[in-house]
Each structure stands twice: as structure tokens, then as C-alpha cells.
Amino acid sequence: MVRKEQLKLRYLSDNSNPVAMIISICSIPLPPWELEENSKNPDLVYTDSSGCCNPEYISLGCNSLSVLRGRTPIQAYSDYMKIFRERFKDYMEKVIVEIQVGMGPCGELRYPSYPESNGTWRLSRIGEFQCYDKVLKTYSISMYNTELTAGYYNTRHHDGYLPIAQMLGKHGVVFKFTCMEMRDGEQPEHEKCSPEGLVQQVEMATRTAGTELARENSLERYDSGAYSQVLVTKRSDSGNGHLHI
């Protein structure tokens, strides 16, 4: 249908469980066989210090372990991508012009440090380390606790986004980043967050690494203020990226 209408298709591949996030508007569950393995062995998923397991994403600690019916998660991901490429090879680059690969919870490259659905987290609180399973055993303040618990070593003295930009650029992968519609002045002061500062840091990291940056909005907003802010962030670009709304 897409080819017939001479349109282009962006494909989103996400290996996380969206039902664990309140903000999810699209619910495509994990394969039944993976959910079955998770239920038999809760240590396959991330666990906090209170023993609460998070079903959003299989733990990185399992990457090299044959925990999925004799296969490792990396093997399962690889098999899936090979089958997809073979099945849709006639559409690649002609119809399917972009493939977005999910790298963690909600498709984001991070740990599931702030689960909302079970009531253990709410906005303005810092996240919690998810490293208490058997396998693994706030932006404007100096400690950057929110990012650190999500897996980003980003402090005043260490740029946590430059190494990521360099890694993606090395393999010709686009760095996709969100919150382009957010402004500092719209955030409650007690939350100590700076979306504009974060966007500027990521822009600088991708520019330094020579990596392409794709921008997108985080929230579903239709007001002129949010759209204007998206345009502002786009104009700050030096030609190393593109915009998704």
C-alpha cells in the first residue's frame, strides 16, 4: 500500500514492553515465549533494591546467557533482524527509508530507572538503580542523579553523551533525541531540570563526533509554543541532522 501510494515508510523496531509505562499510547507486547521465560525466571529483568522486578526490558546482564530457549538475547535480536531484512529486501531504501532500532525501555538507550505504572516513581523524583537481580548483582544539579540512575555517566566534569555519539557515528547510525519541544521556563523550578540545556549538550556532542542527529518531540502537543521551540532547536543545527514530529 505504501509503495502503491508512492509514500515512504519509517520502521520502528522496539524490544521493550510498553504496558509498563503509563505514557505508552501504543501497546505491542513482547513475544509470548519471552514473557513465559520472564515469568519462570524473574532475574531475567531488572530489579531494584526493594526487590521489585521491572518487566519493561530484559536485563543487559543476560546478553551472553542462553536464557531464551537455548538462545541468548543478542542471538534472538540478530535472528529477528536477519529475517526482517530478508523478508523486506525488495522494499529497502525504496520504500523503507529508515529503521529505528529500540535500545531499551520505550525504545530508549537507558535502564528502566523510573517505572510509573507500579507507583514507585513520579515526576520530579530521581530514579533508582536497577542492578539488584542475581545476574547483575536531576539535570541542573551537580550530581545529575536522574541520568546516573538511568545509566548515563553525565556530570559537570564528564560528558556522558559524547561517547554515545562517537559510537553511533562509528557505525553510521543516526543519534535520535527527544524533548525538542520543551523549554526550561515551562518546567517547575523544584524539578531542577533543563531540557534546553540537555538538547544543546547533545547537539554539541553529535557535532563534535560528526554524527547525524535526528530530533523529535517528547510529548503530544499541538500548541504554537511547542512548535516554535522545535523550530528554534532545528535552526540551531549546523546541518548534521533532521527533524521528526
Q: Which residues are catalytically annotated? A: 108, 216
Residue corresponding to grid cell 536464557: 67
Euclidean distance between CA atoms 8 and 1, whole angstroms: 10
CB atoms within 10 A of CB 89: 10
| Interacting residues of 233 by C-beta distance below 8 A, sequence separation 6+ | 180, 199, 203, 215
**In 3D, which of 184, 171, 180 has the Cα closest to residue 237?**
180
Residue environment code for 133-169, b if the CB has 16+ CB neighbours within 10 A, otherwise e: bebeebbeeeebbbbbbbbbebeeeebbbbebbbebb
Inter-CA distances, 135 with 27, 39, 62, 132, Å? 28, 16, 7, 8
Kindly state the helix (H) or strand (E) to which residue 22 belongs, with its residue range.
none
Burial of 219 (0-12, 13-18, 19+ CB in 10 A): exposed
Residue corresponding to grid cell 535480536: 77
CB atoms within 10 A of CB 119: 8
